[in-house]
Chain A
Amino acid sequence: GENVEQHPSTLSVQEGDSAVIKCTYSDSASNYFPWYKQELGKRPQLIIDIRSNVGEKKDQRIAVTLNKTAKHFSLHITETQPEDSAVYFCAARGSGNTPLVFGKGTRLSVIA
């Protein structure tokens, strides 16, 4: 089945700097790659997703890139703000009718 590795597990950046979180997946047939944000004590919520027919997608300060050949995808957050502090999860959906598989998460701390 699908296996998703996520790095780093923790990340600290200064406010205004950029943050990059990287994930790799194992199933070359995977076709959907969402990112979820979980604030402390809250539920995970979708912030951006990308499908395998697209290489990059942007939404304001957030962007996701996908490299199908290397089987990795990344989340980029520019001009980080304290409210970006949270745990971020990447996920991938493998072939067939398999559910999403999540990475282990990255705890991002934005230092004011």
Chain B
Amino acid sequence: NAGVTQTPKFQVLKTGQSMTLQCAQDMNHNSMYWYRQDPGMGLRLIYYSASEGTTDKGEVPNGYNVSRLNKREFSLRLESAAPSQTSVYFCASAAGTSGNTGELFFGEGSRLTVL
């Protein structure tokens, strides 16, 4: 049972390049989330998907897009990377919908550096 799997684990981009972070969960969870973690800033929500077919903006959505491809997969895309997007990105999932999630299960994180 893998839980939440993120790829890639590490990525270096140049300013203006695009990339997609992939996330998949095998726990049949309804809701999925993308957070970014920066020193001293905690975990800030970028986008979330309360259920298959829906996506909503979180606290810091600018510069990102998401796709809930199916119940298992939730991808995060950076269309034109900027140095301010250098961060560690965590995908998470939970059994319930956003209003009643219970425990969040996190992936191992993806460290992105934008030069």
Seen from chain A, the residues whose Cβ lies within 8 Å of a Cβ on chain B are 6, 9, 34, 36, 42-46, 49, 89, 93, 96-105
Contacts and interface: CB of A to CB of B under 8 A. Distances in A.
Contacts of B108: 42-43
Interface magnitude class on chain B: 20 to 34
12 contacts: A43-B90, A97-B50, A98-B99, A99-B31, A99-B48, A99-B101, A100-B101, A101-B45, A101-B59, A102-B42, A105-B42, A105-B43
A103 B37 CA distance: 12
* Chain B, interface SS category: loop
Contacts of B33: 99
Contact of A46 (B43, B58, B104, B107): B104
Contacts, number: 53
Interface of B: 31, 33, 35, 40-45, 48, 50, 58-59, 90, 97-99, 101, 103-104, 106-109
B42 A93 contact: no
Contacts of A44: 43, 90, 104, 106
A98 B48 CA distance: 10
A104 B50 contact: no
A34 B109 CA distance: 20
B99 A102 contact: no
